Structure 1
Amino acid sequence: MADDSSRKRKVRGKKIASSRSSKEGRRAKKELARKSSSVGKKNGDSPLSDPDEVAPEPFVETDAVASLRGRINGWLQADQPVHLIGPTGCGKTALALSAAAERGRPVVWINGDESVDTAALVGANAGGESYKESDQFVSGVSKQTEIVRERWVDNPLSVAVREGATLVYNEFSRSDPSAHNVLLSVLEEGVLERPGKKGADRSIDVHPEFRMILTSNDVEYAGVHRQQDALLDRFVGVHIDYYDAETEREIVNSHVDLSEEDIETIVETTRALRDELDIVVGTRAAITAAKGLTVFDDGSENGEFKDELLTEVFMDVLAPKIAGEGPDDVAQLRSQIAEAL
C-alpha cells in the first residue's frame, strides 16, 4: 500500500368523559363511529401517497429507461401485476416508483422482510376504544354503561385494494411466502379477505384501478425466498439488468458534481470491475465511489485519478461484500481491483 504521507486523504384526554344525559351519550357514539371510519387517514398515518411525492429525485430519463418504464406501464394497463427482478443496485426500486408515479394514481409502499406476515399486509385489531354512557333516572339513581369497540387498522394491501392505488412492494421475495396467500384471491377473484376482521366487511372488493409492482433480487441472493408457483403464475416478470454505459454516466452525474471526464473514468472502472469480480458491482457502487472521489483529494484533474486512489476508494466501496471473510480474501480483492484498473 502506498505511503499515506505521499497521498494523504483530505475529507471535505382528554378521555371521553362519562355522559350525564342520553344526548351526550348519542354524541359520543357518533364521535366514536367517525373516528373508527377514519383510522389510518389522519395525523399522517395513511399509507397513501400522492404520485408526485413518490417520484424518485433525481431520476434519469434515457431511451433505455423510458423503454423499460413503457413496458411496465403497458403491462399495468393490461391489468397485470409486474414483478421486477434483477441484481442489487441496478435501479429496480427507482424504476418501480417512477412507473407508479406515471400512472397518476395514489401510491402505497411496503418493504418486504422476514417480519412481514398476513396481518402486516391486510391489517389487524389494534386494541379497543371505549366510552361511558350515563342515564339519570330519578334523583340519586343513575345507570352507567361502558361500551367497548375494537379498533381495526388497515395495512398497506387493504388500503391499496380499497382506494385503487398502485402498490409498490419492494423486496417482495424477502418476505415469507405464507404471507402472500391473501394475494391469490385478490388477483383471481378480485376480493381481499382480511383474517381477523369480523362482520360483513371482512372482505374488500378490489378497486378496478388497483395495480401492483413488485421488486426482487435474483434467487441466488441471501435472504430471498422462493415464492409459490400459483402466485408467480399470475405475475408478469420483467428482468432488469445494469444499464448501458451512457445511462450509467447520466445516473452518476445526477448524484454528484464532477466533470464529464471524471464520471466517465468512474463508470468505466465500475463496468470493468463488474466484468472481472465475482461480487456484485452495481450502479449504486459507481455512485458511492463518485461521492468518495469528490472528497478525497489527490490533486488529480479531469478524469486523471491516480490508480492508487481509485483502488482505495473502490476497495472501501466493495469491501462490505466480503465482510467476515479472511485477510487473504481482502488482499485478493485489492489485487483484483488494482489489476482491473
Structure 2
Amino acid sequence: MAEDTSRKRKVRGRKIRGDREQKKRRRARKELARKASRNGNHDEAGTAATSESTGDEGGGHLESPETVAPEPFVETDAVESLRERITGWLAADQPVHLIGPTGCGKTALALSAAAARGRPVVHINGDEAVDTATLVGTYAGGERYEERDEFVSGVSKKTQIVRDRWVDNPLSAAVREGATLVYNEFSRSDPAAHNVLLSVFEEGVLERPGKRGRDRTIDVHPEFRAILTSNDAEYAGVHRQQDALLDRVVGVHVGHYDAETEREIVRTHVDVADTRDDAEPSDSGDPNNDERGALDPEAIGTVVETTRTLREELPFVVGTRAAITAANGIAVFGTQAGAESAQQQTDGGQVSLDDELLADVFTDVLGPKLAGTEIDDVSTLRERITDTL
C-alpha cells in the first residue's frame, strides 16, 4: 500500500526542476555552437571552415565535435564497450560499418564515437536521391569577371571572363580537412554512388568526376575516418552494396541493449520523479510542460519491460525508440488520468499507470508498423498487446 501511494502521489521536486534546467542549458549551448559553425568559425583542429586554397566551397559541411555529440547520451558498460570497439578500429585506420535494427541507437553511437576523436565531423544521410555529385560536388553555375585594360592612355579595353563555379559536397570537405564522416543510412543510397569511396579507402585519393584540370583529385587527409550506419539487409529500401566496398570496411553489429541500458536511455529522455519524502514543489513555469508529468523508476521499468516483451512477441522491430516515445506518451496521458481523479491539472502532476493505459499508448506507438505484417488491423494489434501485458 505504501509503495502504491508513493507511486501515485504528486511528482514534483528540486530534481525535476534541475533536470529541466540542465536540458535547456544543453540545448542553448548546442544551438550557439551550430550558429558558430554555420558562420564559418574555425574548428578545434585549426582547420578553416572554407577551402581557400582552391577557391572551392564546402566548409559549411564541417561541424565541431561538441555540436554533434548526442545529448543526452547514456554511457553504461555495454555502450562504452561498443564505442571502444568503434574508436579502436578508427585508430587502426579502418572505416567502420554499424549494422543493426532500426531504433537501436546506431546513429547516436556513431556520432558519439566521432565526437570522441576531437576532429571536425561531417554528417550526411543516405537515400535514393544520393548520387556521386551529391557526395563529391558539382559545378553550380558560373562566375562572371570583368577586366579593364587602360595601358594605352585614352584607350579602355574591357574583357569579360566567365568561369564555372565548383561547389564541394560533404565527402570532399571531409577528406580534405581530415574530418570524421558519419554516413547515416548508408545502404539506402544507390551503390553506384559509392564507387568514389573505393579509391578513398584503398588508395587515399578522392576522384571528383566532372572536375577538370589538376584539381580533379584530392589527397585524403591522414586524419580522415568514416563511420557508416545501416539497417539489416532485410529492411525495405535497403540496397546491397558492392563486395569490393564491403571488403574495405569492418562491420560492427549493434543489437538492442540490455535492460539496464534501455532503462537508463529512457530515463534520460523523460522527466524523472523525485520520490524523496522532502521533495519540494516545482514552480518552473514552463508552459510546454503544463500537461506532462514525471515517471518514477518503477514506471520507467514497466515501460522498458513491456517494450522488451513485445519485441519478442510481435512480428516487427520494437526498438528502444519505441520505449522512449511510449514513456513520453504515458507522462502526458497518465498525468491527465491522475489529474482527473484529483480534480486538478498542474505541471508535474500525478502519473497514473495501468495496463489499459499501457495498451493504448503502445498501440498508438506501434500502429504505423503494421503494413506488410501478419497483423490485420489496429484492433488486432491492441489485442496482442493486451494479451502480452
**TM-score interval (norm. to shorter):** 0.7 to 0.9
Q: Which residue of 1 aligns with 2:96?
A: 82
How far apart are residue 231 of structure 1 and its match? 0.4
How far apart are residue 114 of structure 1 and its match? 0.3
- Aligned partners of 1:162 and 1:325: how far apart in 2? 46
- Aligned partners of 2:122 and 2:139: how far apart in 1? 20
| Count of residues paired in the alignment | 304
CA offset digits 1:123-164 (Å, max 9, x no partner): 00111111212234443x432100111111111111111111
Match of 2:337 among 298, 303, 325: 298
**Aligned partners of 1:109 and 1:170 also within 8 Å:** yes
**Aligned partners of 1:96 and 1:213 also within 8 Å:** yes
Relative to its length, the structure with more strand (as a share) is 1
Question: 3-state SS of the aligned residue for 2:332?
Answer: coil
CA offset digits 1:210-236 (Å, max 9, x no partner): 100000000110000000001001110
Q: State whether structure 2 residue 258 is matched by structure 1 residue 244.
A: yes
- Aligned partners of 1:259 and 1:290: how far apart in 2? 11
Amino acid of the residue matched to residue 267 of structure 1? V
**Aligned partners of 1:261 and 1:303 also within 8 Å:** no
**Aligned partners of 1:108 and 1:160 also within 8 Å:** yes
Amino acid of the residue matched to residue 260 of structure 1? P
Specify whether residues 134 and 34 from structure 1 end up closer, same or farther in structure 2 by C-alpha distance, changes over 3 A only: farther
Question: 3-state SS of the aligned residue for 2:144?
Answer: strand
- Aligned partners of 1:63 and 1:324: how far apart in 2? 37
**Aligned partners of 2:175 and 2:221 also within 8 Å:** yes
Amino acid of the residue matched to residue 315 of structure 2? D
Q: Which residue of 2 aligns with 1:196?
A: 210
- Aligned partners of 1:324 and 1:170: how far apart in 2? 25
- Aligned partners of 1:327 and 1:178: how far apart in 2? 36
- Aligned partners of 1:329 and 1:169: how far apart in 2? 35
**Aligned partners of 1:263 and 1:303 also within 8 Å:** no
Matches within 5 A, 1:1-341: 37=55, 39-41=57-59, 46-136=60-150, 137-139=152-154, 141-257=155-271, 258-296=295-333, 297-299=336-338, 305-323=353-371, 328-341=376-389
Amino acid of the residue matched to residue 328 of structure 2? K
**Aligned partners of 2:99 and 2:253 also within 8 Å:** yes
Over 4 Å off, 4+ runs: 33-36, 300-304, 323-327
- Aligned partners of 2:380 and 2:177: how far apart in 1? 53
Question: 3-state SS of the aligned residue for 2:107?
Answer: helix
Amino acid of the residue matched to residue 57 of structure 2? V
Q: Which residue of 2 aligns with 1:30?
A: none
- Aligned partners of 1:312 and 1:295: how far apart in 2? 13
- Aligned partners of 1:201 and 1:54: how far apart in 2? 30
How far apart are residue 37 of structure 1 and its match? 1.8
Specify whether residues 56 and 263 from structure 1 end up closer, same or farther in structure 2 by C-alpha distance, changes over 3 A only: same
**Aligned partners of 2:337 and 2:352 also within 8 Å:** no
**Aligned partners of 1:36 and 1:151 also within 8 Å:** no
**Aligned partners of 1:111 and 1:172 also within 8 Å:** yes
**Aligned partners of 2:121 and 2:182 also within 8 Å:** yes
CA offset digits 1:89-110 (Å, max 9, x no partner): 0000000000000011110011
**Aligned partners of 1:54 and 1:107 also within 8 Å:** yes
Higher mean C-alpha displacement, 101-110 vs 291-300: 291-300
Specify whether residues 138 and 148 from structure 1 end up closer, same or farther in structure 2 by C-alpha distance, changes over 3 A only: same
Question: 3-state SS of the aligned residue for 2:235?
Answer: coil
- Aligned partners of 1:225 and 1:324: how far apart in 2? 19
- Aligned partners of 1:210 and 1:74: how far apart in 2? 15
How far apart are residue 35 of structure 1 and its match? 9.9
Q: Runs of 5+ in structure 1 lacking a partner?
A: 1-32
Specify whether residues 303 and 62 from structure 1 end up closer, same or farther in structure 2 by C-alpha distance, changes over 3 A only: farther
How far apart are residue 328 of structure 1 and its match? 3.7
How much is the aligned-residue C-alpha RMSD, in angstroms? 2.1
